Amino acid sequence: MELLMREVSATRLRRREMVMVLGAALVQSSTGFAQVTDRIPRVGLLFGLPEGDPDGQARLATFHQRLHQLGWTEGRNIHVEVGWGGGEAGRIRALAKEIVERQPDIVIGHATVAVEAFLQLTQTIPIIFVAVSDPVGSRFIPNERDPGVNITGVKSFDENLGRKWLEALKEIAPATKRVGCLFNPDTTSPDGVFMRAVEAAARSFAVEIVAAPARSINEIKTALATLGRGPNGLVVIPEPFTATNRDLIIASAAASRVPAVYPNRFFAKRGGLISYGIDQADLLRAAAEYADRILRGAGPNQLAIQGPTKFELAINLATAKTLGLTIPSSLQARADEVIE
């Protein structure tokens, strides 16, 4: 009887050893983060916007929706930790550090300053960038065909944006001779691709481009009051600070009676005169697709940099009326949304 029990125990031990060896082999055979373990994959997603921002929440919902369509359900087989930077560069960098310290399987930066922080903190965790205008100029990647070891993503710049902004502004306010470009130099470069795109198009529309840097509420008000002293217009550069302070910018432009072109539809929906820009929800869908591919084994360097493919034009007729401007019917016909 004792001999039989020893044989049974030895058999069970061999079975346990075989299971452990098989499990280890399965983990080692994995080429990415979809390993055979009982740990739920974790994704760190850092927005430059405030947490209460309705557009930011809509983008997050789009990201989760696309993940779900691809087979990932929050709390069941994936966990997405979200940070909200509130348009403040210092807070964005601090949140990036907190996220990286938790060692997620992927980090996603929604803004140039967020991606910059991630790259300074890790060379091993895969990074996906979203809403980054110039990944090469920002030195995130060597070139768009060879993204690098641990980073890839979806850029938010198209070379025609500058021309489109000035074209819309001149159609609405033909007398415009001087155009200010509003941005925060702490969160975007004064000589970045958006400024260069506007400056390159300026001669075709016979306008002078002036930088209008602003780091605070008072500087926004001062910049808009200055532009209100002549036949001037405004182009708002897309970045976390201007998005976070959109209501103040819209109100200041109205108070100074400055016709303004904005980079995202949510500006026009909040009372901005006109907006033309990239469909931000589409960028988040693409980011979810890249996260899915990395979690299933692809390396970031196998995923080419994508550019924007969908653009939106929105016009606020009520704001135009308040400013005494007439929107040409031809421009209205091209709009994706006309707000009465």
**What is the tens place of the pLDDT at every residue in 254-273?**
999 999 999 999 999 999 99
Q: Are 192 and 137 in contact (CB under 8 A)?
A: yes
Structural domains in the chain (count): 2
Nearest one of 180, 285, 321 to 237, comparing CA atoms: 180
Give the pair of three-digit tokens for residue 185.
């130099």
pLDDT given for residue 8 in this prediction: 37
- pLDDT of residue 206 exceeding 60, the answer is yes
Q: Give percent of the chain with pLDDT exceeding 90.
A: 81
pLDDT given for residue 38 in this prediction: 55
Mean pLDDT of the chain: 88
pLDDT given for residue 154 in this prediction: 94
Residue 259 resides in a domain: yes
Q: Look at 142 and 31; give whichever has higher pLDDT.
A: 142
Nearest one of 92, 127, 99, 117 to 294, comparing CA atoms: 127
Q: Give percent of the chain with pLDDT exceeding 70.
A: 89
pLDDT given for residue 147 in this prediction: 73
- pLDDT of residue 105 exceeding 80, the answer is yes
Q: Rounded distance, CA 257 to CA 323, Å?
A: 6
Residue 328 resides in a domain: yes
Distance, C-alpha 138 to centroid of its chain: 15
Q: Look at 83 and 15; give whichever has higher pLDDT.
A: 83
pLDDT tens-digit series, residues 6-51: 443 444 434 433 333 333 333 332 223 333 345 899 999 999 999 9
If asked whether residues 332 and 205 sit together in one domain, one would say yes
If asked whether residues 214 and 70 sit together in one domain, one would say no
Residue 25 resides in a domain: no
pLDDT given for residue 25 in this prediction: 33
If asked whether residues 267 and 296 sit together in one domain, one would say no
If asked whether residues 57 and 183 sit together in one domain, one would say no
pLDDT given for residue 190 in this prediction: 80
pLDDT given for residue 7 in this prediction: 41
Q: Are 152 and 301 in contact (CB under 8 A)?
A: yes
If asked whether residues 87 and 221 sit together in one domain, one would say no
If asked whether residues 50 and 154 sit together in one domain, one would say yes
Q: Rounded distance, CA 116 to CA 185, Å?
A: 15
If asked whether residues 68 and 146 sit together in one domain, one would say yes
- Average pLDDT (284-299) is 97
- Domain harbouring 90, CATH code: 3.40.50.2300
Residue 15 resides in a domain: no
Residue 54 resides in a domain: yes
Domain that holds residue 292: 42-158+280-310
Residue 197 resides in a domain: yes
pLDDT given for residue 185 in this prediction: 92
pLDDT given for residue 32 in this prediction: 32
If asked whether residues 212 and 334 sit together in one domain, one would say yes
If asked whether residues 64 and 147 sit together in one domain, one would say yes
pLDDT tens-digit series, residues 159-173: 999 999 999 999 999
Q: Angle 54-221-278 (CA atoms, 0-180°, nearest 5)?
A: 40
pLDDT given for residue 34 in this prediction: 35
Residue 22 resides in a domain: no
